Structure 1
Amino acid sequence: MSILSPAEQRAIDHVDQQAMLAQVERWAAINSGSRNLAGLTQMADELATAFAALPGSVSLVEPAEVTAVSPSGEVQPLAHGRHLLVEVRPEAPLRLLLTGHMDTVFPADHSFQRLKWLDANTLNGPGVADMKGGIAVMLAALRAVEAAGAGDAFGYDVLINSDEEVGSLSSSALIEARAAGKAAALTYEPSALPDGTLAGARPGSGNFSITVRGKSAHAGRNPEDGRNALVAAADLAVRLKAAMRPGLSVNPAKIDGGSGNNVVPDLAVLRVNLRPKTPQDETEARILLHDLTWAIAVDHDVTVDMHGSFARPPKPIDPKAAKLFALVEQAGADLGLAIGHRDTGGVCDGNNIAACGVPVVDTMGVRGGSIHSDAEYLLVDSLAERARLSALSILRIIGQGGV
């Protein structure tokens, strides 16, 4: 471990793991599934109180309007929770963005609602790693930086959205606005591996609902007069999957629709996810969607409407991002931590931030694993470890005037 500056040592010494653990236990006891608006309201209020400890303004921002396609093919509004925004020294010449999400993948009626200790260092519970533990790390790191005397030349925004797990559709414009002009960004998703490895490059992601409308008819008397929307949607799913290649993952996930066995179905909605590796792959995926939906409409004599977008752009590691990764990894080494990074297939708000031209490390949260399952766990000793890593990284970004 290298010798830390007095300010860096003050920040490291300020981290209180027991206080962080108490926050995680309290927050994880609140169900804040992405569609649980009451739970998200409770969680947002908790976070607003906690982040009021920072020397800035705290507000709750209304979500942007979002629509979704129902199983009946209707485009309908989709409600979202409010997003937490903290602004500290907005006029400072050097500013960072720190982001997280308060929502989890576990709805209010999910069986996974309670915390359980697996051993003295392993806490099992909904959202403990992804990412209520990460939010605790973020807050502790910022409090440590403030305690070290960051100075008036440094400021930051904190954005904790309510919809990351469902694509950040109601917060993407807010992310873009807050990323503008920032020197760098840190996002508090859990580490890519339990050993603390960071996520490097990420693919993009697009979610689409493709509505196919055909014509009903009697399946026995005059099936030739019908236009089977279910078959057309299935054909589209098969063609999309067949187009999968290196650089583009395609997952047809669900078809809503169908009718009685004696009726030719006139409606089906195909849900599909595409993950392009590079911006060029995304462009080709857009062309693929256009060409295949047009071909299905012609071949099956049906009407096809597409709803959705590539809400997560691909996130390559550009030179500025490489410098930020090197800074964080060196900070880790100076704390006695062996930290590297690797490419991953997942996506997060780091994709959106990187698309704004801002270098970002998006797995600054806790070590743990089995996220998005009832085996999700947090390694408790990583709370203080990762808070110290963030605090030291932030101080060094300040010290060198950016990345």
Structure 2
Amino acid sequence: MLRKALALTLAAMLSHPAAAGLNATEAKLVAHIDQTNQQALGLLEQVVNINSGTMNFAGVKQVAHVLIPEFEKLGMQARFEDGARFNRAGHLIAELHGGNGPKMLLIGHLDTVFEPDSPFQRFEKLDDNRARGPGIADMKGGNIIILQALRALKAAGELDNMNILVVMTGDEELSGRPLAQSKQALVDGAQWADIALGFENGDGNPKTANISRRGSVDWQLTVKGIPSHSSQIFQDRIGAGAIYETARILNSFYEELRSEPLLTFNPGRIMGGTTVNHDPLSNSGSTFGKNNVVAEHTIVTGDIRAVSLEQLQRVQEKMRAIVARSLPQTSGDIVFGEGYPPMGPSDGNRKLLSLYSQVSVDLGQGMVEAVNPLNAGAADVSFTAAFVDMAIDGLGMSGTAGHTVEETGRLDSLPKQAKRAALLMYRLKYQ
């Protein structure tokens, strides 16, 4: 099995003296990335200057159509997959099936959080090592790193007989629905692949990478009570009312679940009264009620962020049990919606991080450690976790102030991260 073979080879590589340096091919990879860095920075500036806010479908497609020819130059089959069925622009898919080595899925995304009405639209160089621009770190820099790594492998004569699938989604920042369709390209790719490499910017620190990401799943709590004049509350036939019952449930969530390690659960919106009108599409609603009337309805919406599928399922069962207890004459129901699955810190992911860290050491860039999952939000790589033997994320461009008009990328991290990625894929090729 690939997982077992990789584990044995990784152990041998990490303990062998020959791992402490670069061979001739690896030196070629590094040299090519250095020689073409200005070209890569030019392409980065070009795509940053194209507005590709998630809902700007034309802009997302434009970025894809700038990058597709670059993949085609590498001998890859590249196309844009339309996203009309899930109300998004779509995804860039590029693939190469050339050998018997491990199948590698490389993950990026084309969209940003900055729509055409944002004041933040252009690439601006701040100094030799920093530039500001929409999506420069999250994650147009990561997309260019993917290209640079593949270009280096091509120049060294190593790419043609590799098995590579690139998926750059067009809706990472605001996922289309249903998720089963908007993330189908990722899931299909993961089912094909052995290894998933994500090129998000992680926590912005090149000394870390993600081997675990907490998932994010929505929930909605609906509670019903018996309406009555407030003077009758707590009577046997009236009971506690919907708002008291909701308060009990939320307080029980807090008391009974907050000891779970690496778990967060947040009620983001609450509405209650005699009548409640809820519009989930606009994340808004309205209520009507009087101080002298026992509340009949409440709705609460929130999310759960769990570090593993097992934890998510366990917490969901606890929440259902809490809701089912019910104060007198009340009833509640909790429904869990779509969301990003968690990517747990598996043994395979740890081994992949060890190899990546060794690559970094051999490049003179120092060791790489795992990001604390509390500092790692949901990302597209999570959709691969149930299928691949190994996964890692955070291989993209370092930066700061993501999702703000001060988003800044470290330009000097682009060649450094591209070198790491190229060497990692080269070493994985021969497992």
**Bucket of the pairwise TM-score, normalised by the shorter protein:** 0.7 to 0.9
Aligned-residue offset at 1:109: 3.1
Shift, 1:65, TM fit: 5.3
Task: State, as a whole percentage, how many aligned pairs show the same letter.
Answer: 26
Which residues of 2 match residues 35-184 of structure 1 at below 5 A? 35-63=55-83, 79-89=87-97, 92-150=100-158, 152-166=160-174, 169=179, 170-184=181-195
1:361 maps to 2:392: yes
| 1:276 pairs with 2:289 | no
State the match for 1:396 in structure 2. 427
Aligned AA for 1:316? Answer: P
Give yes or no for contact 1:204–1:310 (8 Å, CA) kept in 2: no
Q: Which has the larger radius of gyration?
A: 2
Asked whether the equivalents of residues 232 and 300 of structure 1 are also in contact (C-alpha less than 8 Å), the reply is: no
2:425 corresponds to which letter in structure 1? I
| Aligned residue runs from structure 1 range 342-381, under 5 A | 342=370, 343-345=372-374, 346=376, 347-381=378-412
Amino acid at match of 2:300: L
Name the CA distance, whole Å, in 2 between partners of 1:4 and 1:187: 24
CA–CA separation in structure 2 for the residues paired with 1:171 and 1:149 = 35
Amino acid at match of 1:128: I
The amino acid of 2:185's aligned partner reads: L
**Gap change, CA 1:93 and 1:338, over 3 Å in 2:** closer
| C-alpha distance after superposition, 1:158-205 (max 9, x if no partner) | 0111222345734433222212242322110114343x1223442432
Q: Does the C-alpha gap of structure 1 residues 281 and 105 become closer, same or farther in structure 2, counting only changes over 3 Å?
A: same
The 1:220/1:236 distance shift into structure 2, 3 A limit, reads closer
Contact 1:191 1:197 in 2 (8 A): no
Q: CA deviation at 1:209?
A: 4.2
C-alpha contact 1:32 1:106 (8 A) present in aligned 2: yes
Deviations 1:228-254 (A, max 9, x none): 767766665444344322322112223
Structure 1 gap ranges (5+): 67-78
Which residue number corresponds to residue 199 of structure 1? 209
Change (3 A) 1:227 1:179: same
Q: Label 1:55 to 1:228 Cα distance change in 2 as closer, same or farther (>3 A).
A: farther
Following TM superposition, by how much is the alpha carbon of 1:148 offset from its aligned partner in structure 2, in angstroms? 0.7
**Deviations, residues 1-26 of structure 1 (Å, cap 9, x unaligned):** 96533322222222222222222222
Quote the Cα distance in structure 2 between the aligned partners of 1:164 and 1:282.
22
Q: Quick one: which of 366, 372, 376 aligns to 1:338?
A: 366
Moved more, 125-134 or 206-215: 206-215
Provide structure 2 residue ranges, at least 5 long, that are not aligned to the other structure: 1-18, 271-283
Shift of 1:141: 0.6
TM-score by length of 1: 0.82
How many residues align? The count is 385
Per-residue CA deviations over 1:317-354 (Å, capped at 9, x if unaligned) read: 31x22222122111111211113112332232232222
User: In structure 1, what is the Cα distance between the partners aligned to 2:303 and 2:289?
Assistant: 29
Contact between 1:28 and 1:132, CA under 8 Å: does it hold in 2? yes
- Following the alignment from structure 2 to structure 1, what is the Cα–Cα distance between the partners of residues 267 and 254? 7
Cα distance in 2, alignment partners of residues 391 and 160 from structure 1 = 18
Instruction: Tell whether 2:260 aligns with 1:246.
Output: yes
Single out whichever of 30-39 and 209-218 deviates more from structure 2.
209-218
Change in 2 beyond 3 A, CA 1:311/1:26: same
AA in 2 matched with 1:314: M
Partner of 2:281: none
Partner of 2:287, secondary structure, is coil
What SS is found at the alignment partner of 2:409? strand
Per the alignment, do residues 99 and 203 of structure 1 end up closer, same or farther by CA in structure 2, a change over 3 Å counting?
Answer: closer
Shift of 1:210: 1.3
> Which residue is 1:187 aligned to?
198
Q: Check conservation: 2:225, 2:329, Cα contact below 8 A.
A: no
Cα separation, partners in 2 of 1:152 and 1:193, compared to 1, 3 Å = closer
Q: Distance in 2 between matches of 1:372 and 1:5?
A: 40
Q: Which residue pairs with 1:8 in the alignment?
A: 26
Q: Secondary structure at the match of 2:264?
A: strand
Cα distance in structure 2, aligned partners of 1:92 and 1:357:
17
Q: Deviations 1:102-151 (Å, cap 9, x if unpaired)?
A: 12233333343333333331112221111100000011111111111116
1:321 aligns with 2:349: yes
Residue matched to 1:387: 418
Whichever residue aligns with residue 363 of structure 2, its letter is L
- Could you tell me how far apart the structure 1 residues matched to 2:39 and 2:350 are? 33
Q: Secondary structure at the match of 1:339?
A: coil
Structure 1 Cα separation of the partners of residues 174 and 246 of structure 2: 23
Moved more, 261-270 or 286-295: 261-270
Q: How big is the shift at 1:376?
A: 1.8
The residue matched to 1:204 in structure 2 has which SS? coil
Residue 288 of structure 1 aligns to a residue whose secondary structure is helix
The one-letter code sitting in structure 1 at the alignment partner of 2:427 is R
SS of equivalent residue, structure 2 residue 79: strand
Q: 8 Å contact 1:212–1:232 — kept in the other structure?
A: no
CA contact (8 A) 1:104 1:130 kept: yes
Partners in 2 of 1:268 and 1:107 — Cα distance?
Answer: 34
C-alpha contact (below 8 Å) 2:323/2:332 kept by paired residues = no
Q: Please say if residues 276 and 314 of structure 1, whose CA atoms lie closer than 8 Å, have aligned partners that are also in contact.
A: no
